[in-house]
Structure 1
Amino acid sequence: MKSILLSTAIVAITATFATADGHSVVRMGTEGAYAPYNFINDAGEVDGFERELGDEMCARAELTCEWVKNDWDSIIPNLVSSNYDTIMAGMSITDERDEVIDFTQDYFPPTASAYVGAADGADWEGGVVAAQTATIQAGHIAEGGATLVEFATPEETVAAVRNGEADAVFADADYLAPLVEASGGELVFIGPDVPLGGGVGMGLRESDAELKGKFDAAITAMKADGSLNALLVKWFGEDTAQY
């Protein structure tokens, strides 16, 4: 396998450039605000499940990769505009998104979304429910009987419950679980789990079929040798869905 460069820094959004050996850099777009999928660590670097998985996928595909941080609400438009080449940001595969961009196969199995409130009796059905904007969770709430209040970041959705601005937050159960555990009873799961989406996959431009094929091959290999399951357990625990 040829040597590769895996950047440990968050790079600014720039045009694609060539490395010294003439190969293009693949820019990996992420939000950096959705632990444990992706987050910014104390060193100011992209970290988390998707960082570790993405680096391994790049290594197996013999690609030179760097990480780019981008806000969630513009993450698809900036991919389409070629400000980076992939999205690894806890993004669920949906038919609506698939009309705009392409996806690899899922690297996180379809999983549940969940409600969290400040008390067991919090009104998740008809009250005010917070969700991150442009997510499948926000779309689900908008179609139901609750009043949707949207926020740009996942942290703000949870803060809305803590400060009484919302009765509940609706998000990926895997994102909410460590927050509930660490809250010391301040936050509790309420209502039923809701299965949404077709799993989490890497987003790419429709025109990048060759790049998609390389990453799909890496995911397939990691599913086959058990290394993807090992990463899922490492970052989400023994009870997480696996392949």
Structure 2
Amino acid sequence: MKNIILSATLLAMSAGAALADAHSVVRMGTEGAYPPYNFINDDGEVDGFERVLGDELCARAELTCEWVLNDWDSIIPNLTSGNYDTIIAGMSITDERDEVIDFTQNYIPPASSLFVALSEDADLEGGVIAAQTNTIQAGYIAETGATLLEFATPDETVAAVRNGEADAVFADGDFLLPIANEDADLMVVGDPVQLGGGVGMGLRETDTELREAFNAAIQSMKDDGTLNALIIEWFGEEAATF
């Protein structure tokens, strides 16, 4: 195991060194509005699980990284147009997205999406369900008999339930559970739904060396246990780990 960990670490370091000229600064694109994955703290800085993870991955790959904020609904187009070099924003790996961009291996394993409502009798099959636009959850609801109500930000989807615009919100359990646990009026309803192939970093299809550098860094964190420890720190003991 020690040899595996050392090999992965050395690969990440050598890949980072090889990229020094091509990427003097690697720009990490995120939304900053999806806690605990990413959010803006009281000092106005990007914070959250992905900020800590991204900084560690950059350190292991010996890359100089900076953080760039972008709205979710244009996060893929602005990657492909060159406004930043990666997406690290709680983005699930899907076949549809993989036709446009490339992904690293996942750094969050496949997890459950949940419905949260104000009543256990919420109509999930024929009612109005809020979801963030351009997410796998929105795509899932669009294929059901429910009415999809899309919003640009995740906070708006929850607000739609609280103010009666929607019968329920459908989103990642990692995002919804802390909200439901802190609000006595909100509750998880229905059955969990498994969607996507976990969460990974998105990159342009031409940036193969950069992708492999981050792949090696992610693998090294899986091998030495630091990724699981970080997941538990930010998402709790019940979170899915590797």
Asked whether the two chains share a fold, i.e. TM above 0.5, the reply is yes
Shift of 1:22: 9.4
Per-residue deviation, residues 155-214 of structure 1 (Å, max 9, x unmatched): 00000000000000000011000000110x210000100000000000000000000000
1:23/1:142 CA distance change after superposition, 3 Å: closer
Shift of 1:151: 0.2
TM-score by length of 1: 0.90
Which sections of structure 2, spanning at least 5 residues, go unmatched? 1-8, 10-19
In the alignment, what sits opposite 1:7?
Answer: none
Distance across 2 between alignment mates of 1:107 and 1:203: 12
Distance across 2 between alignment mates of 1:63 and 1:135: 29
In the alignment, what sits opposite 2:224?
Answer: 225
In the alignment, what sits opposite 1:242?
Answer: 241
SS at match of 1:105: strand
Distance across 2 between alignment mates of 1:123 and 1:44: 39
Per-residue deviation, residues 112-149 of structure 1 (Å, max 9, x unmatched): 00000011111111100000000000000000010000
Distance across 1 between alignment mates of 2:87 and 2:219: 18
1:110/1:126 CA distance change after superposition, 3 Å: same
SS at match of 1:149: strand
Per-residue deviation, residues 9-52 of structure 1 (Å, max 9, x unmatched): xxxxxxxxxx9x99610000000000000000000000000000
Distance across 2 between alignment mates of 1:47 and 1:189: 26
Amino acid aligned to 1:217: A
SS at match of 1:113: strand
Amino acid aligned to 1:79: L
Shift of 1:60: 0.2
In the alignment, what sits opposite 1:129?
Answer: 129
Alignment of 1:44-193 (within 5 A): 44-183=44-183, 185-193=184-192
SS at match of 1:131: strand
Q: Identity over aligned residues, as a percent?
A: 72
SS at match of 2:134: coil
Higher share in helix: 2
SS at match of 1:82: coil
Distance across 1 between alignment mates of 2:215 and 2:67: 19
1:153/1:202 CA distance change after superposition, 3 Å: same
Per-residue deviation, residues 69-126 of structure 1 (Å, max 9, x unmatched): 0000000000000000000000000000000000000000000000000111111111
Which sections of structure 1, spanning at least 5 residues, go unmatched? 2-18
Runs ≥4 residues deviating over 6 A: none
Count of matched residue pairs: 224
CA RMSD of aligned residues (A): 1.4
Distance across 2 between alignment mates of 1:81 and 1:212: 17
Q: Which has the higher contact order (CA 8 A, sep 6+)?
A: 2
SS at match of 2:165: coil
In the alignment, what sits opposite 2:211?
Answer: 212
Amino acid aligned to 1:205: R
1:30/1:23 CA distance change after superposition, 3 Å: closer
